[in-house]
Structure formats: structure tokens, C-alpha cells
């Protein structure tokens, strides 16, 4: 009974290998006709331009069939390969001229000869074992008139053949397991994908479980969420997504979840055993992830503080515009009416002096309000705010604003204040009347550049304005570059991330 239990895993592996080989005959023939024929006809017809769409369609079909082959190999050969990732590219040459595609196409085209060779190698011992067992049973039935070599088939010879059939069966199982190991290595080599980034614990588990796409999500009990190595929230995969997860507990306390290929669910005890063995290491990594999550939360909180300060500046600007400025404008109108009533009396000159002082105070208040937070920035975006800023500057400024849509409010504010500080410094220190302003969105960041052809020599340590800009940009995970060689002008260049995964996007979504 114990021997049978020990032999059962080997029997299961041999049976799966045999099934893989038999199924591979039909699949291999189909792959050879469809993929091989598509590539051959596509290459032949390429000079007529008809072959290009044939090659492109064959390439897309190759990736789909390769993904199906991977799933079948995971199920029958236990290769535990991650999903096949098609290589994106423009043009037929980019689609079919890369190594991953050549490996995937090679796996499909070699499926038929591989299946034939595997059946030939493994089939001989299997047929021998079946023949011995069949003859042994016939001998035990005492069938007359049959010979096995020089011996007549009878009960004695039948018993001997049945006894010999057992080691022949064991040899057959061993051969099938060997063929399965060779097939497993070949499939892994041809259908492998790139290894995702991760820590040492993840690498050890991935190596042990044979799933190179494996990842670990750490549980934070105080926040009741899973996070990754960097402390960012993680959503566990849904059923039917091709991914699955296994809980990691220690002492009845949830530590993490191992996110792996759904094919590993066929052997959950393997995942559970590996998770239990690595529980202590995972707990240590969980503490580090929790610390990173707190740091990430502090970064987001710091951004929210800056946003709250900008909101306060907007309110102050609005209150000044709707309150004090309106009162001063109303007072200026009253002075004009008073002057009209006084006529040419001596008090008219005094009223004019008061009106002039009032106009200066009103202009200073408006400029102060713009410095707090320009209304154009909130209402019409950074492009309009920069145009208004440039119109008031005593410089010849060439502007280049390349923005198709509004930016997030923190990014707009940071870009505006970089330009405002840069132009202010040019007016005060550059000793020039020429400047250039550029704003554009390049990939996942906003680029802001302010340059002049003045005397240069600007040093960040000498001014609080540039240091303040650097602090504001650092809150957004951005940075400021200052290039100012003496006599060759100064260039301020700010890079502000704003892609979906950036800090601004995370804080806005939160």
C-alpha cells in the first residue's frame, strides 16, 4: 500500500506527459499548417504587398497560440510559466524580427516533431510493458498453442511475464518522466517571459514554485489594505483573471498574500508549504513595506498641505478682489463725484492728490493679489496665466506653450511660480531684455523652461526664491535644474511628473 502511494505522483506525471504528447500530434500538425504556412506564404508574397498583412496576422495568431500552449504546458507539464507577453512594435519587421517571437513561433512549429520523437522514445517501453502484461494474463488463462520464444505459453511462463511487466512498467514511468522533464525545460526556454522586479523573498518563492511572475502583497492590519514592496496599495486578482492568490498567515495572523499564476492552484499544497516556510521572512518584509507605506502616506500628506496652502491663497486673492479692491474702486468713483461738485475750488487739487494715491494703492493691491495667486491660473489655466504674466513683464519674451488640456492644479501652480520666479530674477539680475519661456507635456511629465541671454552666474544658495521653488517641486516628486555659466545666460528647467502613477495622480485619486 505504501509503495502504491509513493508511485502515484510518478504515475500522474507520466500520464500527463503521455497526454501532452498525444494531444501534441494534432496541435503540432495544425501549428505547422497555420503558422508555418502563414509565414511561408507571407514571405513569398511580400514583394506584392499582399504578404505584409498575412505576416502581421500570423504574428498576432502566433502569440495567441503560444499563450494557449503555455497554459497547456502549465497544466500537463507543471512548467509554471508566467503569461506570454507579445512584443509590441510598428511594422511587420518589428513584429516578427525579435527573439521572443522567434522563440514562440519555434515552439509551435516544433510541436509536431517533438511529439513524434517523445512518443517514439516513451512508446517503446510502454508497449513492451503492455505486451508482457497481456501475454502474462494469457498464460495464466492456460491458452494452448502459443509460444514465447522457445517456451510454451502456460501458467509458469505467464507468472514470469507478469512479474517482468512490473519493472517494465516502472521503466516506462521513468522514461515518461524523463521525457516530461526534457519537454518542460524546452517549453520554459522557448516561452519564457521577462522576470518582474522584486525583493529577495519574492525571488526565492518564484524559484521554488517555478512561477517567475509571482509577487507578494503585504497586509497592513491598521489600514486593512494590501501593499507592494514600495508601500503602494495593491488589489488582489479576481477569479477568472488568470491570476490567483494564496494567503500567508503566521500564528493565526494575516501577513501577506502570494499573487501567482492561476495554474498553481492545481497544487495548492505546494504554494501553502512554500508560504509557511517563508512566513518569517515575509513578516520582516511586511514591516519594511509598512514603513514604506507610511512614508508614501507622508508624501501624499505633504502634497495635500501644499494644495491646502494654494487653496488658501486662492481664497485670499478672491477676498481681496471682491472685497478690498471693490471698496477702493468705489472710493475712487466717490472722489471723482466729489471733484465734480467742488468745481474749480482750491480743494479740487487736494482731491486729485488723494485720487492719485488711491490709484497707486489700488495698483499695488492688484499686483499683491496676483502674487498671492493669479485669478487667470484658476479660471483659464497656466497658459493664460503665463500670457498675462508675460504681458506685464518689461522684457521681450518669446513664449511656447504646448499643452492640449488643463493640468492638475498643483502642477499648474508649480509651473506658474517657476516662470514667475524666473522672470523676476531676469528683471532683477540678468541685465538683459530678452527671455524665453517654454511649457510642454513630454510623456509622463511637464517640462517648464525659462531662459535668458544675460550675465549668468546664478547660484541657488544665494536666493530664497529658487530654494522655495525646489521645495515646492520636491513635494510633487519633481526637480529643478539651473544652468548659469557666467556671461552665457541662465536657464531654469523644471520637471514635474504627472503620469497616472505619479504622486499627483495618487493624491488626486485619494
pLDDT at residue 206 in the model: 72
Nearest to 429 by CA among 395, 403, 404: 395
Is the pTM higher than 0.85?
A: no
pLDDT at position 18 over 70: yes
Across the range 370-392, mean pLDDT stands at 76
Q: For position 4, what pLDDT does the model report? A: 42
Lowest average pLDDT, out of 11-20, 367-376, 426-435, goes to 367-376
| Pairwise pLDDT comparison (71 vs 3), residue with the higher score | 71
Taking the C-alpha atoms of residue 356 and residue 363, their distance in angstroms, rounded to an integer, is 11
Asked if residue 438 has pLDDT above 90, the reply is: yes
Q: E strands, 105-193, where?
A: 147-148, 151-152
Best CA proximity match to 38, nearest among 23, 60, 16: 60
What's the whole-number mean pLDDT along residues 327-342? Answer: 73
> Looking at the predicted structure, is the pLDDT value of residue 20 above 70?
yes
Q: Which of 82-86, 228-232, 302-306 has the highest mean pLDDT?
A: 228-232
Average pLDDT over residues 45-74: 85
Residue with the bigger pLDDT between 330 and 57: it is 57
The pLDDT of 471-498, averaged and rounded, is 86
User: Which range in 4-13, 230-239, 294-303, 374-383 is most confidently predicted, on average pLDDT?
Assistant: 230-239
Question: Is the sign of the CA dihedral 52, 56, 58, 62 positive or negative?
Answer: positive
Quick one: pLDDT at residue 195?
47
- How far is it, in rounded angstroms, from Cα 447 to Cα 439? 6
- The grid coordinates of residue 337 equal 463725484
Q: Which of 71-75, 193-197, 201-205 has the highest mean pLDDT?
A: 71-75
Q: How does residue 220 score in pLDDT terms, banded at 50, 70 and 90?
A: confident
Mean of pLDDT over the chain = 76
pLDDT at 444: 81
Q: pLDDT band for 373, please (50, 70, 90 cuts).
A: low
- Give exposure, 97-132, as e/b (b: 16+ Cβ within 10 Å): eeebbeebbebbbbbbebbeebbeebbebbebbeeb
pLDDT of residue 450 exceeding 90: yes
Residue 108, pLDDT score: 92
State the pLDDT at residue 232: 79
Statement: residue 33 has pLDDT above 90: yes
Question: Whose grid coordinates read 482750491?
Answer: 346
Query: Confidence band (pLDDT; 50, 70, 90) for 267?
Result: low
pLDDT greater than 70 at residue 299 = no
- Summarised one tens digit per residue, pLDDT across range 127-182 is 766 766 665 556 556 655 564 555 555 565 556 656 666 766 777 777 888 888 89
Classify residue 500 by burial, with Cβ atoms within 10 Å: 0-12, 13-18, 19+.
exposed
Question: What is the structure's pLDDT at 459?
Answer: 76
Report residue 353 as a C-alpha cell: 492728490
Query: Which among 438, 374, 443 is positioned nearest to 409, based on CA atoms?
Result: 374
Residue 275 or residue 227, greater confidence: 227
Q: Tell me the percentage of the chain whose pLDDT exceeds 90.
A: 10
Separation between Cα atoms, residue 87 and residue 194, nearest integer Å:
11
pLDDT of residue 208: 65
> What is the pLDDT, as a whole number, of residue 197?
47
What is the arithmetic mean of pLDDT over 39-44? 87
Choose among 203, 177, 210: nearest CA to 278.
Answer: 203
Take residue 322 and report the three cell numbers written for it: 471682491
- Residue 435: CB atoms within 10 Å: 25
CA distances from 276 to 25, 143, 212, 250, 263 (A): 41, 58, 19, 8, 20
Rounded Cα distance, 510 and 498, in Å? 15
pLDDT given at position 1: 37
Q: What is the pLDDT of residue 2?
A: 40
At 12 the pLDDT is: 81
Position 403 pLDDT exceeds 70: yes
DSSP conformation letters of 348-409:
HHHHHHHHHHHHHHHHHHHHHHHHH--HHHHHH-HHHHHHHHHHHSSSEEEEEEE-SSPPPH
What is the model's pLDDT at position 451?
93
Residues 225/256, Cβ–Cβ less than 8 Å: no
Residues near 385 by Cβ (< 8 Å), separated by ≥ 6? 374, 376, 377, 412, 416
Mean pLDDT across 248-272: 73
CA angle 165, 168, 170 (to 5 degrees): 115
Worst-scoring range by mean pLDDT, 41-50, 135-144, 266-275, 490-499?
A: 135-144
SS3 assignment, position 206: helix
Stretch 58-65: mean pLDDT, rounded?
A: 89
Residue 94 has pLDDT above 70, yes or no: yes
Residue 275 has pLDDT above 90, yes or no: no
Amino acid at each position: 500500500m505504501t509503495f502504491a502511494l509513493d508511485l502515484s505522483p510518478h504515475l500522474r506525471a507520466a500520464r500527463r506527459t503521455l497526454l501532452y504528447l498525444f494531444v501534441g500530434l494534432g496541435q503540432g500538425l495544425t501549428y505547422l499548417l497555420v503558422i508555418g504556412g502563414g509565414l511561408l506564404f507571407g514571405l513569398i508574397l511580400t514583394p506584392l504587398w499582399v504578404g505584409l498583412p498575412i505576416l502581421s496576422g500570423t504574428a498576432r495568431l502566433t502569440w495567441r497560440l503560444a499563450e494557449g500552449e503555455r497554459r497547456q504546458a502549465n497544466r500537463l507539464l507543471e512548467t509554471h510559466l508566467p503569461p506570454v507577453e507579445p512584443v509590441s512594435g510598428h511594422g511587420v519587421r518589428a513584429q516578427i524580427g525579435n527573439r521572443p517571437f522567434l522563440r514562440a513561433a519555434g515552439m509551435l512549429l516544433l510541436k509536431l516533431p517533438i511529439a513524434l520523437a517523445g512518443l517514439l522514445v516513451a512508446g517503446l517501453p510502454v508497449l513492451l510493458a503492455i505486451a508482457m502484461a497481456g501475454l502474462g494474463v494469457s498464460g495464466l488463462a492456460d491458452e494452448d498453442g502459443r509460444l514465447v520464444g522457445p517456451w510454451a505459453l502456460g501458467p509458469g511462463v505467464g507468472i514470469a511475464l507478469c512479474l517482468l511487466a512490473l519493472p517494465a512498467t516502472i521503466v516506462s514511468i521513468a522514461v515518461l518522466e524523463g521525457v516530461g522533464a526534457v519537454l518542460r525545460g524546452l517549453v520554459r526556454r522557448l516561452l519564457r517571459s521577462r522576470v518582474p522586479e522584486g525583493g529577495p523573498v519574492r525571488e526565492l518563492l518564484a524559484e521554488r514554485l517555478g512561477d517567475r511572475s509571482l509577487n507578494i502583497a503585504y497586509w497592513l492590519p491598521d489600514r486593512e489594505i494590501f501593499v507592494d514592496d514600495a508601500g503602494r496599495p495593491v488589489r488582489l486578482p479576481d477569479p477568472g483573471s488568470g491570476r490567483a492568490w494564496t494567503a500567508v498567515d503566521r500564528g493565526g495572523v494575516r501577513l501577506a498574500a502570494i499573487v501567482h499564476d492561476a495554474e498553481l492552484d492545481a497544487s495548492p499544497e505546494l504554494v501553502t508549504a512554500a508560504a509557511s516556510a517563508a512566513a518569517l521572512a515575509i513578516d520582516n518584509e511586511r514591516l519594511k513595506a509598512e514603513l514604506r507605506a507610511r512614508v508614501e502616506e507622508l508624501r501624499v500628506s505633504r502634497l495635500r498641505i501644499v494644495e491646502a496652502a494654494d487653496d488658501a491663497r486662492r481664497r485670499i486673492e478672491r477676498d481681496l478682489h471682491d472685497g478690498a479692491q471693490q471698496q477702493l474702486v468705489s472710493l475712487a468713483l466717490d472722489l471723482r463725484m466729489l471733484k465734480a461738485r467742488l468745481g474749480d475750488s482750491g480743494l479740487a487739487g487736494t482731491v486729485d492728490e488723494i485720487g492719485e494715491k488711491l490709484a497707486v494703492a489700488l495698483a499695488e493691491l492688484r499686483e499683491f493679489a496676483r502674487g498671492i495667486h493669479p485669478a487667470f491660473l484658476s479660471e483659464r489655466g497656466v497658459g493664460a496665466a503665463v500670457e498675462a504674466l508675460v504681458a506685464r513683464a518689461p522684457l521681450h519674451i518669446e513664449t511656447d506653450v504646448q499643452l492640449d488640456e488643463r493640468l492638475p492644479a498643483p502642477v499648474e501652480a508649480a509651473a506658474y511660480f517657476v516662470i514667475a520666479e524666473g522672470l523676476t530674477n531676469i528683471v532683477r539680475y540678468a541685465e538683459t531684455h530678452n527671455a524665453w519661456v517654454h511649457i510642454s507635456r513630454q510623456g509622463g511629465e511637464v517640462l517648464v523652461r525659462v531662459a535668458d541671454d544675460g550675465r549668468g552666474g546664478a547660484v541657488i544658495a544665494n536666493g530664497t526664491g529658487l530654494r522655495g521653488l525646489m521645495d515646492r517641486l520636491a513635494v510633487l516628486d519633481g526637480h529643478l535644474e539651473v544652468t548659469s555659466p557666467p556671461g552665457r545666460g541662465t536657464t531654469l528647467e523644471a520637471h514635474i511628473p504627472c503620469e497616472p502613477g505619479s504622486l499627483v495622480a495618487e493624491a488626486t485619486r485619494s
